[in-house]
Amino acid sequence: MALFADIRILGCGAGLLLAAQCGSAPTQSGPPATKPLATNVQADSLVDDAIRALLDTVTASTSGRADARLGLQAGAEVRALYGPAGAPVWLVGAGPSPDAAGALALLAQAPAHGLRPADYGSERLLLLRDSLTRPAELARRTLQLARFEAYLSDAVLGFMRDVSRGRLHRYTVSASEKAAGPSGQPVARLRAALASHAVPAAMLAGQPANREYRQLQQALAQWLALPSAPDSAAQQRARYEQVAATLERWRWDALPPTPDYVLINIAACELLVVANDSVQHRYRVVVGKPTTPTPTLSSTIDHFTLAPDWHVPRSIATREMLPQLKRDAGYLARHNYALYDAQGRLLDARRISWARVTAQNFPYTIRQSAGCENALGNIVFRFANPYSVYVHDTPERQVFARPYRALSHGCVRLETPFALAAYLLRRGGQPVQLPSEAECARQPRPRDVRLRRPMPLFVRYATCTAEGGRLRFLPDPYHRDETIRQGLFGPSPAP
């Protein structure tokens, strides 16, 4: 069954993946009552034996071929769930339990989380469930029950892993799970959920908790419930897969819990100040070009510098300035740059034979003093990171009017930096005594201002966001979505 057909079926009612058309919600949430086994044999013991034989716990521990043969994606976890006893966890008598019905319903809603029901064998599971309502010989029924058990456990544990860490990343125990011990790991969480009959909640408990993921997932669920025009199926599919790729990326790199923070979304060319789960301020920014992309990172803004000097990165000095110097040795002086040797001594660029200097043997450092033409403008926000990037002002204010703003060498240029500085000072209870931009220009002396309350900073790449419960689709300037999209959904269908 095609993915987007699955998605639209989701919006029809109670999440019956194989339903033929939309209609009124079924009155019965679980599967039809099953007929009892027509035998006096100890059926439970037979099912236990069948589960143990199916999972082949003795040989499967030394070979992955058993999982491939059975089509299990979480074979090790499934075997850990059943243990040596092999007692069923999803059956009541000879039929699915209410916990099984709840798990199947949530698996049918996988598209609302950017995932495919087919990846969890939903069709196979529903066919198995329905087969339990039909008469069968004891041996066949026992095998059907064992297969339903193993495949449902595999689907649930696989979904729990994927919704927590992402489908395209191999699962590893996180630091928080290690700290929580075995009870914090998926198999233990599922056992506890089965004991308390809270399976759907446990299946979703590992989702990223940050507002960006939550709001995007909720907006996707609402969007899927809306009708779509038949001639827009291809566009709808593309839009859906864009959201799914963004949700997957958030699962890889979710934000840690913190009450307030600065978030820079590279794809949106925006800086958000978030407090108490709501956006307090929104600013336009310029981010790195596709050839010099802004990196994603997590850090903390702990101070800012007024009237900063700019120490030109070596990459810019050799790739962009060196060719200028070969043509015109006066280039540095005209743009307020100073040239220094390896010992920090000031040099005269006009006395150097630039024709002999290459990017490989470039022995100099270049610094631009504070002033109106300084590339960092009048203020720069500092935060520890291994990429030597920062958020800063710029003298080129006209660029913020452009819709496409992936234009920098990797640092982030901010449209109204003094407004952000004032907010950070107020947040820490510090008096707001910032000079005007004109005062910075008249007195270009660098001065650091330490924040009493450093501000968490996150730089992420999300090509879809949620605004007021509605999806907002953004460009993909670094062309990163396609690899994720193909990993989740395979090659695009032919036109």
Positions marked active-site: 392, 411
Tokens in use for 149? 């058990």
Q: How far apart are CA 219 and CA 209, in angstroms?
A: 15
d(C-alpha 422, C-alpha 418), whole Å = 6
Query: Which spans in 377-436 are helix H?
Result: 417-427
Strands 447-460 and 310-311: unpaired
| Dist CA 112 CA 247 (whole Å) | 10
**Is the Cβ–Cβ distance between 149 and 97 less than 8 Å?**
no
Cβ 309 vs Cβ 368: under 8 Å: yes
**206 is written with which tokens?**
């590992």
Contact assessment for residue 166 and residue 248, using Cβ atoms and an 8 Å cutoff = yes
What does the block give as tokens for 299? 């850090």
**Helices of type H across 113-198:** 122-131, 138-165, 175-180, 186-196
- What phi, psi does 303 have (nearest 5°)? -165, 165
Of 214, 203, 290, nearest to 246 by C-alpha is: 214
Asked whether the beta carbons of 154 and 74 are under 8 A apart, the reply is yes
Tokens of 408: 């920098």
Of residues 331, 283, 336, the one with CA closest to residue 307: 336
Give me the DSSP letters along 255-318.
Answer: PPP-SEEEEEETTTTEEEEEETTEEEEEEEEEEE-TTSPPPPEEEEEEEEEES--EE--HHHII
**Pairing of β 412-414 and β 278-288:** antiparallel
